[in-house]
């Protein structure tokens, strides 16, 4: 095997390892691309939207099971009356930041696609993932830039339908998926109701292991584990690469030596012959051929 062959092998191994690392980060980037896809889909599909009218966004077949609706509201209307839709209750006295004349609210029910995009380490999701997202709205785009809610009255309430019967036997917790990929937990305020203060994605979870006391250490532990795994993987890849380089070097040196020896033996007699009186006897070669004869 030539040196370039070894490089090919090394490259393949490195690629395999990095792809398993990327796999771990994939769900997170999937969420972002889902968000931007829904935004684009709503803008393409709903031309000339009427303010205050709720529109369903139709989705491609690979998102069957998900429900997405969008509504554009006057900020004053949201402030004075709030907005109820489906499982979401937006009470009065909600404003946007930065302040807008009109804001667009995008409601998401990820349905049975929830676990494809979201998961909570060491917990089981017992409800679908719901999203309530606030966007600015412009002449050209119904769903424009992401903005924040600021809540001056009651918080937003989300009423979750249970999707998993285990949520009835164990009291679920509200889980919020934060922008940096971590999960925050909070108690429900009423059965299956979460109160939230920001736009974002939420669900209900139950611990999938019997140590609920460990809840508050989760985000820290998770970050630690991630770094540990990352460090280990990088170290391992480094070792593999180093080993392969060394191996390639050793092979190359050996090959050169053999080539040199072959060249030498072509020209002159070597040490595996010796003389007894007038007779030249091959020594090493006769010993080397013996195992072949035995076979
Ligand atoms: C939107 O979808 C929901 C659920 O699929 C349905 O109940 C509702 O009638 C739809 N609304 C419109 C305006 O099509
Ligand atoms: C759905 O499938 C289409 C191809 O059919 C692909 O382009 C698109 O990215 C997929 N969307 C999502 C959100 O997976
Ligand atoms: C979700 O359920 C629908 C039927 O309601 C089905 O067509 C779709 O394939 C399911 N999607 C997933 C990801 O399981
Ligand atoms: C929304 O629902 C709450 C009760 O859940 C009700 O008090 C409120 O008046 C409703 N708001 C609108 C705008 O329908
Ligand atoms: C919304 O709030 C978050 C956290 O407070 C902040 O990082 C982000 O920049 C805000 N977005 C806008 C558009 O103000
Ligand atoms: C939920 O409430 C219990 C008391 O009922 C408390 O011990 C626990 O810390 C709370 N959990 C969270 C995440 O707020
Ligand atoms: C999940 O639980 C196990 C065992 O209790 C723990 O070692 C691990 O750190 C937890 N994982 C996360 C991401 O919190």
Say what the pLDDT of residue 171 is.
Answer: 94
Secondary structure tally for the chain: helices H, strands E: 6, 16
Task: Please state, in angstroms and rounded to a whole number, the distance separating the CA atoms of residues 27 and 201.
Answer: 14
Candidate of 69, 72, 87, 110 to mutate for ligand 1, largest count of ligand atoms within 8 Å of Cβ:
69
Say what the pLDDT of residue 76 is.
Answer: 95
Say what the pLDDT of residue 215 is.
Answer: 47
User: Model confidence over 48-95: pLDDT tens digits?
Assistant: 999 999 999 999 999 999 999 999 999 999 999 999 999 999 999 999
With a 6 Å cutoff on the Cβ, whether 289 touches ligand 4 is no
Task: Please state, in angstroms and rounded to a whole number, the distance separating the CA atoms of residues 216 and 71.
Answer: 36
pLDDT in tens, the chain (295 residues): 455 665 565 555 554 455 545 544 556 678 999 999 999 999 999 989 999 999 999 999 999 999 999 999 999 999 999 999 999 999 999 999 899 999 999 999 999 999 999 999 999 999 999 999 999 998 888 999 999 999 999 999 999 999 998 999 899 999 999 988 899 999 999 999 999 999 999 999 999 866 444 445 455 555 556 667 777 787 778 888 888 889 999 899 888 887 887 776 655 544 454 445 555 555 554 444 444 545 4
Task: Indicate which atom in ligand 4 lies nearest the CA of residue 83.
Answer: 13
Tell me the pTM. Answer: 0.69
Say what the pLDDT of residue 270 is.
Answer: 47
The three-class DSSP label of residue 191 is coil
Provide the token pair at 157.
């309430």
Say what the pLDDT of residue 27 is.
Answer: 61
From start to end of the chain, where are the E strands?
54-57, 67-74, 83-85, 88-90, 94-97, 102-109, 123-125, 130-136, 148-151, 156-159, 173-177, 183-187, 193-196, 200-207, 273-276, 279-282
Task: Please state, in angstroms and rounded to a whole number, the distance separating the CA atoms of residues 109 and 64.
Answer: 11
Output the residue whose Cα is nearest ligand 1's atom 5: 67
Task: Please state, in angstroms and rounded to a whole number, the distance separating the CA atoms of residues 128 and 114.
Answer: 6
Ligand nearest to the CA of 225: 7
Say what the pLDDT of residue 158 is.
Answer: 98
Nearest by Cα to 204 from 116, 91, 113, 114: 114
Cα-Cα-Cα-Cα dihedral sign, residues 205, 209, 211, 215: negative
With a 6 Å cutoff on the Cβ, whether 64 touches ligand 1 is no
């Amino acid at each position: 095997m030539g040196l370039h062959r070894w490089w090919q092998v090394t490259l393949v191994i490195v690629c395999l390892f990095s792809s398993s690392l990327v796999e771990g980060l994939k769900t997170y980037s999937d969420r972002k691309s889902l968000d931007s896809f829904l935004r684009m889909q709503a803008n393409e599909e709903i031309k000339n939207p009427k303010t205050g009218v709720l529109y369903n966004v139709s989705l491609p077949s690979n998102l069957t099971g998900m429900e997405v609706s969008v509504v554009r509201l006057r900020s004053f209307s949201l402030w004075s009356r709030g907005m109820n839709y489906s499982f979401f209750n937006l009470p009065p006295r909600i404003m946007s930041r930065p302040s807008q004349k009109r804001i667009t609210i995008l409601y998401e029910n990820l349905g049975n696609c929830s676990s494809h995009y979201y998961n909570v380490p060491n917990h089981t999701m017992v409800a679908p993932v719901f999203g309530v997202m606030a966007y600015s709205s412009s002449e050209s785009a119904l769903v424009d830039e992401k903005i924040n809610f600021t809540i001056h009255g009651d918080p937003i309430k989300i009423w979750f339908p249970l999707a998993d019967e285990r949520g009835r036997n164990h009291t679920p917790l509200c889980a919020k998926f934060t922008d940096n990929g971590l999960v925050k937990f909070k108690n429900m305020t009423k059965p299956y109701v979460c109160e939230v203060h920001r736009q974002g994605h939420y669900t209900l979870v139950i611990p999938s292991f019997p140590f609920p006391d460990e809840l508050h250490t989760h985000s820290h532990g998770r970050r630690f584990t991630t770094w540990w795994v990352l460090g280990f993987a990088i170290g391992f890849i480094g070792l593999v690469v180093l080993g392969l380089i060394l191996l390639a070097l050793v092979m190359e040196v050996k090959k050169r030596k053999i080539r040199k020896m072959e060249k030498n033996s072509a020209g002159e007699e070597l040490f595996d012959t010796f003389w007894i009186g007038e007779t030249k006897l091959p020594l090493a070669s006769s010993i080397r051929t013996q195992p072949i004869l035995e076979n």
